[in-house]
Chains A and B, each alone.
Chain A
Amino acid sequence: DSGVTQTPKHLITATGQRVTLRCSPRSGDLSVYWYQQSLDQGLQFLIQYYNGEERAKGNILERFSAQQFPDLHSELNLSSLELGDSALYFCASSVAIGTGSDTQYFGPGTRLTVL
């Protein structure tokens, strides 16, 4: 167990809908990262937050947004869902901003299925 928690574990929804994925980092970690894992694209970085502020952005669609709250948990919002958004969404956390010996620890993921 990495100490990173994600809810829900599974999510099944329809096209056009909106969902929210939640992540709680390890105790003491200030950075949260979101990744998407799909069969065709592999593991792709979406976005990073550090202590409440957006730190880096990757291949995140405009329909997706995220935020990190004062208690450091993070939410990833996916809207106007399409079939191609079906994937495993992982959250990871690290102590600092990803430099030096900082290591990212991953949560169990949320499996999103869009029908």
Chain B
Amino acid sequence: AQRVTQPEKLLSVFKGAPVELKCNYSYSGSPELFWYVQYSRQRLQLLLRHISRESIKGFTADLNKGETSFHLKKPFAQEEDSAMYYCALINYNQGGKLIFGQGTELSVKP
């Protein structure tokens, strides 16, 4: 079954510390993975997608097919990074619906 797992419900770090938000997936085929960010339960904003290999707001994520992971990383956390982060994969077998993980709340303390 297709599934996305974010093992940490809450991650708390100090400003300037490195951050790694974990995401593991289960998908038969070649996955397309995304990270979305949600500030204060407002709209979901696309942070990055693995096929574009870009860095947004200092965040990067590498797809590791061997470990079936797509962890989100940032070397130096900022207070404005505090938000909910959702990892998602797109299920082509069902029209392109997004399957989301349960989300990780990142709290960056001053």
A: residues with CB less than 8 A from B are: 2, 31, 33, 35, 37, 42-45, 48, 50, 55-56, 58, 88, 90, 92, 94, 97-99, 101-109
The interface residues of chain A lying within 8 Å CB-to-CB of B100 are: 42-44
B57 in contact (CB, < 8 A): no
B44 in contact (CB, < 8 A): yes
The interface residues of chain B lying within 8 Å CB-to-CB of A102 are: 90, 96
Contact of A98 among B41, B45, B95 (CB under 8 A): B95
B43 touches A50 (CB 8 A): no
B43 touches A98 (CB 8 A): no
Interface residues on B, range: 20 to 34
Report B53-100 residues with CB < 8 Å from chain A CB.
86, 88, 90, 92, 94-100
B42 touches A109 (CB 8 A): yes
Contact of A104 among B94, B98, B101 (CB under 8 A): B98
Bound complex: CA A35 to CA B43 (Å):
12
Q: Is the interface of A mostly helix, strand, loop or mixed?
A: strand
The interface residues of chain B lying within 8 Å CB-to-CB of A103 are: 34, 46, 49
8 further A-B pairs in the complex, CB-CB below 8 A; given A2-B43, A33-B96: A33-B98, A43-B100, A94-B96, A98-B92, A99-B92, A99-B96, A101-B52, A106-B36
Bound complex: CA A33 to CA B91 (Å):
13
B45 touches A2 (CB 8 A): yes
Bound complex: CA A94 to CA B98 (Å):
12
B17 in contact (CB, < 8 A): no
Task: Indicate whether A107 sits within 8 Å of B43 (C-beta atoms), given known contacts A42-B103, A98-B90, A98-B92.
Answer: yes
The interface residues of chain B lying within 8 Å CB-to-CB of A88 are: 41
Bound complex: CA A105 to CA B36 (Å):
10
Bound complex: CA A109 to CA B42 (Å):
7
Bound complex: CA A108 to CA B41 (Å):
9
Shortest Cβ gap from A4 to chain B (Å): 8
Task: Indicate whether A45 sits within 8 Å of B98 (C-beta atoms), given known contacts A98-B90, A103-B49.
Answer: yes
The interface residues of chain A lying within 8 Å CB-to-CB of B94 are: 56, 58
